[in-house]
Amino acid sequence: MRIRIITDDFTSALDGTACFAERRWETSVLVQPEGIATAQVVSLDTDSREYTPTLDHDAVANAAHAWRDADVLTLQFDSTLRGRVARDCSTALAASGRRKLLIAPAFPSAGRTVEEGCVLVDGVPVHETAFGYDPTLPVRESSIPALLRAHGIEVKVARDAAQARALLDVHDAVVVDARTEAELDAIATTFAGARDLLLAGSTGLLRGLARVLPRPQSAPDDRGNCGDHAASRVPLAGRPWLVVGSLNPRSRRQLSIAQAQCRVNVLATGETRLPASAPPQAALRDLVVQAVNVVSSRACDGLVVTGGETARRIIDALPVVSLRVCREIMPGVPLAEVQTAIGTFPMITKAGGFGDDDALLTCIYALTGAQP
């Protein structure tokens, strides 16, 4: 079975494949559209989350066209609807040649649910949470039908997988409510392998697919593919660095707790050499330069990075030869082995507004092998 994932962010590309790697699927993550991969599960980071929504993005269209014959074709987007969700849905659907669009954005284990077609974070419409005030990608709309209607796609709301299947017999696009992992699993079970269907959703949907699809018969080999037995081969870090590029208040709270409870080197926007008045992109560039320097000088042998764009810029700047996604540290937080021209190191990535207050601390302990 060929599973292909088109995503808009580097962190998403990793956490969307980690759930499959844990279940012994061959996985590969591409950061360049022209990359070639023959693994069973392939994810491409189109790096489109912050691309202007009013413009087409060739990487999304090209990947959807190239992978139009995949057994499962998924467009992965942020569970809080940051980025160009509607535009990418429209682009991918048209380029894939698939007739129908099934949208399932829920990620219940991370507190993101869908009720009456609206995305909620811990029970609150997402645009009314801190994501509505995000300094770079503020979320203005919680309703999936309203969001896609502005791009010419009429979306019907289904209360569950069974109703969604009935609605798709008549309509071209449906969003499915889900409040629990069991409901998400039912959606994955119902629609996995529907060759005329483009699936669209967050990491929650991909985790559901990984849970319900039968595991491959053969174990991963020595070509860099990960499975349960391979996770233990990832070396621990003795000199880890924590890189915080996200400005989300939750990330800042997680950073404070990590610094208070363990000794770790930190690079963070707001703590760089640039003045506080510097524009966000200048601060990010400075942060990436510093992170690459500590890796290249071997002052660092492992990274915990929060902020998808931050992680992607670090990977681009090193540059990276390959990425081996190994397992999840927690839902939606993957551990990967990064190979560069000068060596290999473990890296954990976490989306900015993701996880509980101890999330970064948990990541550091996982990277170092220390006990809480």
Spatial distance between the Cα atoms of 272 and 215, rounded to a whole number of angstroms? 45
Which is more confident, 60 or 232?
Answer: 60
Instruction: Please give the pLDDT value at position 287.
Output: 92
Instruction: Please give the pLDDT value at position 263.
Output: 87
* Sheet architecture: strand order including 265-268: 265-268, 240-244, 302-306, 343-350, 333-340, 320-330
* pLDDT mean across residues, the chain: 88
**Is the pLDDT reported for residue 275 higher than 60?**
no
Spatial distance between the Cα atoms of 40 and 170, rounded to a whole number of angstroms? 32
Greatest mean pLDDT among 32-36, 96-100, 130-134 lies in: 96-100
Which is more confident, 280 or 245?
Answer: 245
Spatial distance between the Cα atoms of 103 and 74, rounded to a whole number of angstroms? 10
Structure tokens at 106: 């829920």
**Is the pLDDT reported for residue 157 higher than 70?**
yes
Reported as a pLDDT band with limits 50, 70 and 90, residue 273 is very low
Report the candidate in 346, 352, 278 with the shortest Cα–Cα distance to residue 10: 352
Count CB-CB contacts under 10 A for residue 152.
8
Spatial distance between the Cα atoms of 27 and 3, rounded to a whole number of angstroms? 9
CB 351 within 8 A of CB 16: no
Query: Alpha-carbon Rg of the chain, whole angstroms?
Result: 19
Q: What SS3 state is found at 3?
A: strand
> What's the fold here for domain 3-212?
Rossmann fold (3.40.50)
First to last CA, the chain: 40
Instruction: Please give the pLDDT value at position 229.
Output: 43
**What average pLDDT score do residues 263-287 get?**
72
**Is the pLDDT reported for residue 19 higher than 50?**
yes
Reported as a pLDDT band with limits 50, 70 and 90, residue 279 is low
Instruction: Please give the pLDDT value at position 218.
Output: 58
The reported pTM is 0.82
CB 115 within 8 A of CB 213: no
Instruction: Please give the pLDDT value at position 351.
Output: 84
**What average pLDDT score do residues 286-306 get?**
93
Half-sphere exposure of 350 (CA within 13 A, CB side): 35
Count CB-CB contacts under 10 A for residue 190.
18
Specify burial of residue 163 (Cβ count, 10 A radius: 0-12, 13-18, 19+): middle
Greatest mean pLDDT among 71-75, 230-234, 277-281 lies in: 71-75
Among 50-59, 228-237, 258-267, the least confident range: 228-237
- Residue ranges per structural domain of the chain: 3-212, 234-368
**What average pLDDT score do residues 318-336 get?**
85
* Sheet architecture: strand order including 112-115: 112-115, 118-121, 124-125
Reported as a pLDDT band with limits 50, 70 and 90, residue 280 is low
Instruction: Please give the pLDDT value at position 230.
Output: 45
Tens of pLDDT, residue by residue over 68-101, are: 999 999 999 999 999 999 999 999 999 999 999 9
**Is the pLDDT reported for residue 220 higher than 50?**
no
Reported as a pLDDT band with limits 50, 70 and 90, residue 278 is low
**Is the pLDDT reported for residue 175 higher than 70?**
yes
> Which residues neighbour 58 within 8 Å (Cβ) at sequence distance 6 or greater?
33
φ, ψ (nearest 5 deg) of residue 302: 180, 145
Domain at 234-368, CATH homologous superfamily = Four-carbon acid sugar kinase, nucleotide binding domain (3.40.980.20)
